[in-house]
Structure 1
């Protein structure tokens, strides 16, 4: 009788080991699936950001090309960034509550 009981216990141990391993595999598979989904989402966000940055680079390259070669663009940038003006042009500068007028063509300033 003992050999049959020993075999039954051994089969039960193997069965429990199998089911335990299977359950562990299922749990790890679910975690891997969840992690894979998160990584795919992150990848899609990074690809979208990469596309946006590529568009921005193209735009900046066009602007640099214009700033190097187009006289109108150069003049606009000089006026906007450096406060420069063309001959005969009147510039009005607002300071606080008052108005300051500069006559750049004549080289004098009225306050």
Structure 2
């Protein structure tokens, strides 16, 4: 489960921001986890709860924004929406797709006290 390692990375970001900005408690963590990112939001929530025990983020709510994937189809020259990697172009059926959005994973905002 690579989500545990991702959660550790998120906690590292939170600790770095806390050191820079001087807060000692995080109430809410807003994440952007694209639909094509290969990250399971439920596993991320579970891992976040486990990794943050005993830290400044313990008990913090995790809010996950899940934008759709988008890809440029090289066969029909259209930008199309994809729900998952490996899908064919909904316009022409081609698999010659280049992902242009929806594969991100980032901390968007922290609500702190």
- Measured against the shorter chain, the TM-score band is under 0.3
Higher strand share: 2
Higher RCO (CA-CA < 8 Å; seq separation 6+): 2
More helix by share: 1
Give the TM-score normalised by structure 1. 0.21
Q: Which has the larger radius of gyration?
A: 1
